[in-house]
Amino acid sequence: MKSSTRFSFRPSDFTVAGQPVHYAWVIVGVAAVMRLFSSSFRSSSSILIPRLVESFGWSYGAVGFGFALQWVVSGMLGPSAGWLGDRYGARVTMTIGAFLFIAGMVLTGFMTSLWQFYLFFGIILSASMGIFQVPLTASVTMWFKRHLGTGMGLLQSAQGVGPLVAVPIMLLVIAAFGGGLPGLRAAFWVPGIIGGVAILALVRLFYDEPAQAGMRPLGASENEPVRRVQVGELAKIRTRVFFKQAQRTLAFWNLIGIHFWGCAGHAIVLVYLVAIAEAEGVSPGLAAGAFVTLSVTSTVTRFAVPVMADRVGSKGVMAVCFTLQTLPIALLFFASDPWHFYLFSVLFGIGFGGEMSAFPIINRQYYGSAPIGTTYGWQMMGAGVGMAAGSLAGGALRDWTGSFDATMGLSLVLSLVGVFSIVLLPATHSHQLPDWEEQLPPEAQTQPDPPAQPATGTQPAAGD
């Protein structure tokens, strides 16, 4: 059999080894790899911080401020990134994000002073992070009517896999370039250039929504007409009208707050876990291993939680995950041996992995197929500010008290507030704004185009 009949790369009839595969899974795969390249090195900050302190002589608080600045900027850009995605499409915004990623990583490798670290790492690189967190995720949700939980689980687990890939690469690159400052510089240059070029190549395979490829979402009936692509002025109107209504719901504001509390709580652990372990006499290698263990554990729940949230509702699943993120922090007050930190990493990783991964699901459960990019961007703003607050406050408390006890206590309290905030969320069995399109002008409402009649007289199958 000819290869052309066994492999087709057209989205409408994508096949592998003669078997039809819905292009939604290709979108998930492409998005997962882009997320892996773009965010894995920031999520490995627990490895970077001791090296930055050693190489430049900066304090933990000064370095922590750089990471805090990055989270603040990426968070504050979340609403704008979401709006750009809703207005112009994720494909355009991700191309911009790829160039920002390359520039940020390469320039950070050239830094010689603290203000350059803040500018290159804290601002330029963080701008790309905002793009790959918000429009990318919102676009992927548009490809599913069924199996959204599985799709988002695969996408979110890629972020958990990130440190598993990034940490060994960073350590190998640092060692290959002689360690110290030369190795640290190369740890930014090598993945920055290779990862950025890979992202630019993958953007060509990405479509903002099924209609852009002339398809239906995965799980849609074959009798359902292909939706009209909402672009230009119509997309702008839809985004503005929906966002105005969403702001009137309690869920909109509470989800921002929950993102803040949860991220502020776990940021302290992610940024300072290696330093906490090393302060207790654990070797750098074993301390890094504890961080990797946390990442491995979180990868499992990053996949499982969206699946569960899609099937049974997000509110209860999120409450369980936040609780599991909170309670294990008490172990850090007594940890001294390496196995203590590994036990903590397993227990904490279970809750941490699921804490954020249900947010795209709950947005679709609350708002249906509305343009949620801007709304999700506001939630990611809460996440970014929370990550910044946690990393900054954690470093400041360490410098002020001389130990990590107050830092760990703050992490526990912040996560606990998030648990109570989830209780206030409405149930997810019905939409919050089921009639939001009634306030749109007729031409901007969801009106599918009539099915086109191909010249052959047959309609291309979208697949399921």
pLDDT in tens, the chain (464 residues): 444 445 556 777 777 767 788 899 999 999 888 888 877 665 566 577 778 888 898 887 788 788 778 878 888 888 888 888 887 888 888 899 999 999 999 999 999 999 999 999 989 988 888 788 788 888 888 888 888 888 888 888 777 676 677 777 778 888 888 878 888 888 889 888 988 999 999 998 888 888 888 888 888 877 776 666 566 677 778 888 888 999 988 899 999 999 999 999 998 888 888 888 888 888 888 888 888 888 788 888 888 888 888 888 888 888 988 998 899 999 889 888 889 999 999 999 888 888 778 888 898 889 887 888 888 888 988 888 888 888 778 888 888 888 888 888 999 999 999 999 999 999 888 888 888 888 888 877 775 544 444 434 333 333 43
pLDDT at 358: 83
Q: CA nearest 189: which of 169, 204, 206?
A: 169
Give, in order, the Cα–Cα distances in Å from 168 to each of 40, 176, 252, 342, 448: 11, 12, 39, 18, 48
**How many whole angstroms separate alpha carbon 322 and alpha carbon 324?**
5
**How many whole angstroms separate alpha carbon 69 and alpha carbon 255?**
22
**How many whole angstroms separate alpha carbon 332 and alpha carbon 87?**
45
Query: What phi and psi, each to the nearest 5 degrees, are found at residue 18?
Result: 80, 0
pLDDT at 292: 81
- Residue 122 is given by DSSP the state I
**How many C-beta atoms lie closer than 10 Å to residue 67's C-beta?**
28
Q: Is 76 helix (H, G, I), strand (E, B) or coil?
A: helix
Q: Burial, 89: exposed, middle or buried (Cβ in 10 Å; 0-12, 13-18, 19+)?
A: buried
- The CATH code for residues 3-210+231-433 is 1.20.1250.20
Q: Is 441 helix (H, G, I), strand (E, B) or coil?
A: coil
Query: What phi and psi, each to the nearest 5 degrees, are found at residue 432?
Result: -80, -30
Are the C-beta atoms of 415 and 325 separated by less than 8 Å? yes
pLDDT at 1: 40
**How many whole angstroms separate alpha carbon 428 and alpha carbon 432?**
9
Q: Is 20 helix (H, G, I), strand (E, B) or coil?
A: strand
**How many whole angstroms separate alpha carbon 243 and alpha carbon 249?**
10
Q: Is 8 helix (H, G, I), strand (E, B) or coil?
A: strand
SS3 letters across 147-203: CHHHHHHHHHHHHHHHHHHHHHHHHHHHHHCCCHHHHHHHHHHHHHHHHHHHHHHHH
Per-domain residue ranges for the chain? 3-210+231-433
- Kindly report the pTM of this predicted structure: 0.73
- Residue 15 is given by DSSP the state E
Q: How many CA atoms lie within 13 A of 207 on its CB side?
A: 19
**How many whole angstroms separate alpha carbon 277 and alpha carbon 151?**
35
